[in-house]
């Protein structure tokens, strides 16, 4: 029997501790099939900082989430035990040490048998998360939802930043290069060589314009076909959304997905072998009326629901 969220008919949603979706803490359950964990770290950003405050903001925005997901026809908190694992506290002054800390603590959570939905933090954390996941599952397929490629080599000579995690992941053999796709990319690049290098690493691209023209059902089908039956990791930079839907982020780009498009594409991944996921780059200081945090909380809820579908099958 699972322990679910606090009963909103007994305790108002605006009262009590702000765990994700008002779920129990990890230390309040015997086990967790899915653990929601925060990583309040933003030392790898190249423009606007502030994503260190995202885990708290997303938890607060998640108070209104309800226990039944009609789009996927699943009650995720009944189907599997979901718990809030708190935050991975890592060194904000040493990126290398922070990467090691995230890898170690994420690995420890995975070793309990839990799948992770991680709330960042900036996109630097995707690399240690993928290291931990690949240690358990081998090289994984990757669906990377983002305005940007994040496959650059270095920034100011530094190899570990929020713009480099997926180049490092390919170099380290963490990813199955037959099943890598960026979704939602757009905006100016440094040059054509950025795309050539990205292709060389094995990535396919579905741009934000492709989503608009092809529609979410066709895009989701193409992504499912590319992933196949491989273990899948999904990494979502909230800036994949247009600034109208996610103003609170560090590197916004015009012309992005709507929150509806993103959620429907995610729901179209039902049946894939999702093993863990992250949602990153929410910067609450730049948000308006919690728009971005609300969007991120719903994205995390859909990821939890996908894992719950897989867990009960």
What CA dihedral angle connects 262, 267, 270 and 274, to 10 degrees?
A: 40
pLDDT in tens, 165-198: 999 999 999 999 999 999 999 999 999 999 999 9
Other C-beta atoms closer than 10 Å to the C-beta of 166 total 28
pLDDT bracket for residue 142 (50, 70, 90): very high
Note the pLDDT of residue 312.
65
pLDDT bracket for residue 267 (50, 70, 90): very high
What CA dihedral angle connects 240, 212, 310 and 104, to 10 degrees?
A: -20
pTM greater than 0.75 = yes
What's the rounded mean pLDDT across residues 33-50? 98
> Which residues are CB-neighbours of 257 under 8 A, at least 6 positions away?
145, 184, 208, 211, 240, 241, 242, 245
Omega before residue 121 within 30° of 0, cis: yes
Q: Closest Cα to residue 286, out of 38, 47, 43? A: 47
pLDDT bracket for residue 311 (50, 70, 90): confident
Note the pLDDT of residue 118.
98
CA gap 235, 277 in Å, rounded: 6
pLDDT in tens, 94-118: 999 999 999 999 999 999 999 999 9
Q: Closest Cα to residue 264, out of 58, 71, 65? A: 71
pLDDT bracket for residue 310 (50, 70, 90): confident
Please provide residue 247's backbone torsions phi and psi, each rounded to the nearest 5 degrees. Answer: -70, -25
CA gap 288, 292 in Å, rounded: 8
Other C-beta atoms closer than 10 Å to the C-beta of 176 total 20
Q: Has residue 313 got a pLDDT over 80?
A: no
3-state helix, strand, coil in the chain (%, to 5): 40, 20, 40
Percent of the chain exceeding pLDDT 70 equals 99
Q: Has residue 224 got a pLDDT over 80?
A: yes
Is residue 114 within 8 Å of 34, Cβ to Cβ? yes
Q: Has residue 132 got a pLDDT over 80?
A: yes
CA gap 273, 269 in Å, rounded: 9
Is residue 311 within 8 Å of 78, Cβ to Cβ? no
pLDDT bracket for residue 43 (50, 70, 90): very high
Compute the mean pLDDT over every residue in the chain, rounded to the nearest whole number.
97
């Amino acid at each position: 029997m699972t322990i679910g969220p606090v009963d909103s008919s007994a305790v108002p949603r605006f009262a009590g501790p702000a765990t994700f979706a008002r779920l129990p803490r990890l230390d309040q359950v015997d086990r967790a099939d899915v653990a929601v964990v925060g990583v309040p770290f933003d030392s790898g950003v190249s423009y606007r900082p502030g994503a260190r405050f995202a885990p708290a903001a997303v938890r607060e925005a998640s108070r209104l989430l309800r226990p039944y997901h009609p789009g996927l026809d699943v009650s995720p908190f009944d189907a599997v035990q979901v718990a809030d694992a708190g935050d991975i506290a890592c060194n904000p002054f040493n990126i290398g040490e922070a990467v090691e800390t995230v890898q170690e603590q994420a690995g420890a959570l995975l070793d309990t048998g839990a799948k992770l939905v991680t709330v960042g933090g900036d996109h630097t954390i995707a690399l240690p998360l993928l290291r931990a996941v690949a240690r358990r599952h081998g090289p994984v397929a990757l669906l990377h939802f983002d305005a940007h490629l994040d496959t650059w080599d270095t920034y100011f000579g530094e190899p570990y930043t929020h713009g480099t995690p997926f180049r490092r992941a390919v170099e380290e053999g963490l990813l199955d290069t037959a099943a890598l796709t960026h979704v939602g990319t757009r905006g100016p690049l440094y040059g054509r060589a950025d795309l050539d290098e990205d292709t060389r690493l094995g990535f396919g691209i579905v741009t934000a314009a492709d989503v608009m023209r092809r529609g979410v059902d066709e895009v989701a089908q193409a992504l499912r076909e590319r992933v196949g039956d491989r273990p899948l990791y999904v990494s979502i930079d909230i800036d994949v959304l247009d600034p109208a839907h996610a103003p609170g982020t560090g590197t916004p780009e015009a012309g992005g997905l709507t929150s509806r498009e993103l959620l429907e594409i995610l729901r179209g991944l039902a049946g894939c072998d999702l093993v863990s996921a992250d949602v990153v780059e929410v910067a609450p200081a730049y948000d308006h009326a919690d728009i971005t945090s609300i969007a991120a909380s719903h994205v995390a809820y859909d990821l939890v629901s996908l894992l719950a579908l897989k867990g009960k099958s």
